[in-house]
């Protein structure tokens, strides 16, 4: 919850799917965080990507490139929480 609690209901949409994966996206759709405790589904062969436990993606703009980062299923939540805090501290509405 140290990661997920950083996202307010007013600014972000929270979804827990049928696999208990958690998805958080900004209301404008530019930020996405996925938490996959058993590994991320999908991939090149539509199989489980077992090493990815966290995925953060930020969509770019005409002037600023977007990016994507992934953390393994064994990555401590404190590390992901720190990265998320850094991203949120520099974000601003369009």
Dist CA 90 CA 19 (whole Å) = 32
Q: What is the pLDDT of residue 50?
A: 63
Q: What is the pLDDT of residue 68?
A: 93
Question: Mind listing the pLDDT tens digit for each residue in 30-61?
Answer: 999 999 998 887 655 555 556 789 999 999 88
Asked if the model's pLDDT at residue 94 lies above 60, the reply is no
- On average, the pLDDT of the chain sits at 87
> Residue 42 pairs with which residues in a beta bridge?
none
Question: Mind listing the pLDDT tens digit for each residue in 16-28?
Answer: 999 899 999 999 8
Strands (E) in 1-94, as ranges, are 12-16, 22-26, 31-35, 52-58, 67-72
Nearest to 56 by CA among 40, 73, 34, 85: 34
- φ/ψ of 16, rounded to 5, equals -115, 120
């Amino acid at each position: 919850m140290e990661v997920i609690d950083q996202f307010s209901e007013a600014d972000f949409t929270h979804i827990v799917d049928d696999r208990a994966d958690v998805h958080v996206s900004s209301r404008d759709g530019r930020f996405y965080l996925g938490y996959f405790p058993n590994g991320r589904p999908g991939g090149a062969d539509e199989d489980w990507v077992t090493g990815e436990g966290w995925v953060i993606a930020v969509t770019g703009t005409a002037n600023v490139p977007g990016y994507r980062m992934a953390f393994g299923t064994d990555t401590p939540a404190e590390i992901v929480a720190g990265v998320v805090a850094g991203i949120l501290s520099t974000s601003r509405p369009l």
